[in-house]
A and B are shown apart, each in its own frame.
Chain A
Amino acid sequence: MSWDYIVTLFVPLIQGAGMTLAVFAVTFILSLPLGFCVTLQLNSRHSFTHWFAETYVYILRGTPLLLQILFVYFGLPLIPGIGPYLTFSRFTAACVAFVLNYAAYFGEIFRGGLLAIDPGQYEASKVLGLTRFETMTKVVIPQMIRVCLPSISNETITLLKDTALVTVIGVAEILHYAKTEVNRDGTPFPFVLAAILYLIINFVITFIFKKLEKKYEQ
């Protein structure tokens, strides 16, 4: 196997990595705040919003992500009436499914983090005159992030690997190109290259989270 051949296999994979990272980044950036909203609704005293959030988490954690991707891309456009408005491009459909799914997981992680906050922190904030919003942003969330970071790190690594699922609706990411090459050349070697690419990206993600955990450690 010549180096030139390996390079010709690798170039499309790099191109696919761009798409992988795009799905990853959109999901990561949108599902964290959405997940926090889910947490707030889970803790809500209004029974309807609480019920809604619980059902949301139950459905999105209880069904396969692969199925959710297929449903968003193929299923939503078929809903009578609103279907035409829910017809997405492959990339958008992939992102919608991922953001909804990961918000449910992050929501559960944050819920655990909120439970870890001592009630005394809210009391101290109140007697010092902090508003609810200030209590959340200055006192609660920074402590919650610290508690949640290891779980978020874990989930983020899973997220990167899960992006491979979007190949099922034809989004041209790493695995999509690797499969094409395997079929074309009759060798499984492109899968090895794909694995190496995932490992490299996850190495960077792990490194960043280790740094963050250090920073929040004190």
Chain B
Amino acid sequence: MNSNNDNHVIRVEGLTKSFGDNQVLKDINFDVNKGDVIAVIGSSGSGKSTLLRCLIDLEQADGGTIEIEGRRLVSDGVHADNKEKRAVIAEMGMVFQHFNLFPHLSVRENLELAPKLRSVGTEREIEDRTAYYLDKVGLSERIDAMPSTLSGGEKQRVAIARALMMRPDILLFDEPTSALDPELTGEVLKVMEKLAQEHMTMIVVTHEMSFARSAASKILFMNQGIILEEGTPDEIFMNPKQPRTKEFLSSIER
């Protein structure tokens, strides 16, 4: 089942997905290498979020193959059984646009619920990890706070820490700063840049072009359900080949 190139942690081939008559993803193909930071950009409705959600089975692909670290979530449109899916999903963490923290649990409990239930480390290790990751996102002093008392930026940083607690090899971000006030996006992006520097493999659906430009190793530009153009940030931002890419970039930079 291993792909030819052992560096590939994600391999997507011929991925398709429709909602009713609306084909949102049409033949998506791309690879992600270990340590890559992929920024997925494109206008609303281009299929960016759906693509990300298919990778972690929040949406079920209609066709194609999704391979994560050599294990197949979907193989030529045939889905793996639930046990295998759970194992594949466990390799990944996800950060949502609207944080999705558990509002009835404190910051500490949000971080520790899943690792304790899944026994990802001993109790002691989990508690040490909580301290470590909260420090990393700069929220050590809010360990006992309830989510409702946090700002949007703080909530998202807790959500990132919560995802890291499960020791994922790959982190998926679905527009992590889109629900934040502009002055709060910086603190979240800084955490993400730090993770990128530490060579965490990340796929980030984003409208933050400055982040895509500075932190990403590869940009995927999506348009109407396909990856219209891909390349390094320099290639995409300095010298886009497709007229539609140029149009998109000039429209958001105005």
Whether A130 lies near B58 (C-beta < 8 A) is: no
Report A132-152 residues with CB < 8 Å from chain B CB: 134, 138-139, 142-143, 146
Residue picked from A118, A128, A216, most chain B C-beta under 10 Å: A128
Whether A126 lies near B117 (C-beta < 8 A) is: no
A134 to B119, CA, bound (A): 14
Whole-angstrom distance between the Cβ of A145 and the nearest chain B Cβ: 9
Whole-angstrom distance between the Cβ of A114 and the nearest chain B Cβ: 15
Whether A142 lies near B113 (C-beta < 8 A) is: no
A139 to B114, CA, bound (A): 11
Interface code B60-94, partner A: CB below 8 Å = 1, 0 otherwise?
Answer: 00000000000000000000000000100110111
A2 within 8 A of B: no
A17 to B118, CA, bound (A): 48
Interface code A191-218, partner B: CB below 8 Å = 1, 0 otherwise?
Answer: 0000000000000000000000000101
A120 within 8 A of B: yes
Whether B89 lies near A129 (C-beta < 8 A) is: yes
Chain B residues lying within 8 Å of A115, measured Cβ to Cβ, are none
Interface residues on B, range: 20 to 34
Chain B residues lying within 8 Å of A142, measured Cβ to Cβ, are 104
Residue picked from A123, A143, A146, A216, most chain B C-beta under 10 Å: A123
Pick the contact of A128 from B103, B113, B146, B148 — CB < 8 Å? B113
B237 within 8 A of A: no
A82 within 8 A of B: no
A124 within 8 A of B: yes
A121 within 8 A of B: yes
Are A120 and B90 also in contact (CB < 8 A) when A127-B58, A130-B114, A134-B117 are? no
CB-based nearest A residue for B162: A128
Whether A127 lies near B94 (C-beta < 8 A) is: yes
Report A65-90 residues with CB < 8 Å from chain B CB: none
A139 to B146, CA, bound (A): 15
Interface code B107-124, partner A: CB below 8 Å = 1, 0 otherwise?
Answer: 000000110011000000
Whole-angstrom distance between the Cβ of A200 and the nearest chain B Cβ: 33
Whether A124 lies near B104 (C-beta < 8 A) is: no
Are A124 and B100 also in contact (CB < 8 A) when A129-B89, A129-B114, A138-B117 are? yes
Whether A129 lies near B118 (C-beta < 8 A) is: yes
A143 to B103, CA, bound (A): 8
Whole-angstrom distance between the Cβ of B66 and the nearest chain A Cβ: 15
Residues of B within 8 A of A (CB): 56-58, 86, 89-90, 92-94, 96, 98, 100-104, 113-114, 117-118, 146, 148, 162-163, 166
11 A-B residue contacts at CB 8 Å?
Answer: A123-B100, A124-B94, A124-B96, A126-B89, A127-B56, A127-B58, A127-B94, A134-B117, A143-B103, A218-B104, A218-B146
The 3 lowest CB-CB distance pairs between A and B, nearest first, are A128-B114, A120-B100, A124-B100
